């Protein structure tokens, strides 16, 4: 089992919300699941509700196990930008990989989208490849712009076995249904609920 890398088509598609509930569901099914986030940046008002804290609450770990405390950047920018703005040391993809403790059932969330900067010398894709991830979960919105966003991000994820999760999917919305059907017809692996996503990931868990 290699790590599953979680990313999103944008910064507000709800990937942390999805991941926290996915971890909760997998644990309910009897799996031991660990969450990892190599670096996080956030606004001061988010203290207590940062991504690492939300994922830790779901996985039963300490927030500093999810994301090392020296990689918490209290400024809402891409992590390497936040570090520079705060006057903190530059860090590399190799640094983040070395600090990420991978387990047999490890779900690793990036920051931003696939091509968002994650370190001074690379983006989320560079990190996921260096970490050895073979599987990816791409969280997308279900509404307008979904197909274009999924296609562009999936191109960046070439080489990963990718599941697309349409978050906030409303089966009563024609646009959402048509987006799902279009993506399925185009050959994407698509899930529209946390339970369905768990079903697809469960076959990859030990």
Average pLDDT across the chain, whole number: 95
User: What is the structure's pLDDT at 130?
Assistant: 96
More confident residue, 205 or 17: 17
Binned at pLDDT 50, 70 and 90, residue 204 comes out as: confident
Residues facing 189 on adjacent strands: 163
pLDDT, mean of residues 107-112: 96
Comparing 102-111, 161-170, 189-198, the range with the smallest average pLDDT is 102-111
Catalytic residue list contains 37: yes
Binned at pLDDT 50, 70 and 90, residue 103 comes out as: confident
| Distance between CA atoms of residues 164 and 192, nearest Å | 8
Binned at pLDDT 50, 70 and 90, residue 102 comes out as: confident
User: What is the structure's pLDDT at 203?
Assistant: 80
User: What is the structure's pLDDT at 155?
Assistant: 97
- Whether the pLDDT of residue 159 is over 90: the answer is yes
- Whether the pLDDT of residue 3 is over 70: the answer is yes
Q: What is the pLDDT of residues 65-86, one digit of tens each?
A: 999 999 999 999 999 999 999 9
Which sequence spans correspond to the domains of the chain?
Answer: 4-202
Of 36, 37, 176, 180, the active-site residue reads: 37
Query: 169 — phi, psi (to 5°)?
Result: -70, 130
User: What is the structure's pLDDT at 1?
Assistant: 62
Nearest Cα neighbor of 2 from 121, 131, 153 is: 131
Answer CATH for 4-202 from 3.40.50.300, 3.10.20.600, 1.10.1060.10, 3.40.50.11540: 3.40.50.300
User: Measuring CA to CA, how many Å separate 204 from each of 21, 122, 182?
Assistant: 18, 27, 26
Q: What is the pLDDT of residues 120-143, one digit of tens each?
A: 999 999 999 999 999 999 999 999
Residue 187 CB partners (closer than 8 Å, separation 6+): none
């Amino acid at each position: 089992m290699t790590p599953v890398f979680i990313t999103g088509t944008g910064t507000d598609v709800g990937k942390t919300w999805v991941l926290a509930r996915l971890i909760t569901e997998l644990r309910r099914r009897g799996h031991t699941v660990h969450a990892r986030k190599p670096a996080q940046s956030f606004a001061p008002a988010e203290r207590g509700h940062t991504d690492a804290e939300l994922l830790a609450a779901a996985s039963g770990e300490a927030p500093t196990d999810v994301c090392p405390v020296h990689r918490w950047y209290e400024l809402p920018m891409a992590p390497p930008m936040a570090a520079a703005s705060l006057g903190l040391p530059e860090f590399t993809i190799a640094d983040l990989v070395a600090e990420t403790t991978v387990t047999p059932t490890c779900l690793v969330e990036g920051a931003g989208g696939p091509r968002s900067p994650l370190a001074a010398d690379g983006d989320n894709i560079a990190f996921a490849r260096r970490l050895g991830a073979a599987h990816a979960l791409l969280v997308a919105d279900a509404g307008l712009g979904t197909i274009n966003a999924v296609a562009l991000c999936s191109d960046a994820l070439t080489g990963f076995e990718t599941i697309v999760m349409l978050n906030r999917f409303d089966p009563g919305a024609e646009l959402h249904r048509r987006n799902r059907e279009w993506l399925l017809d185009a050959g994407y692996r698509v899930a529209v609920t946390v339970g369905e996503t768990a079903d697809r990931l469960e076959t990859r868990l030990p």
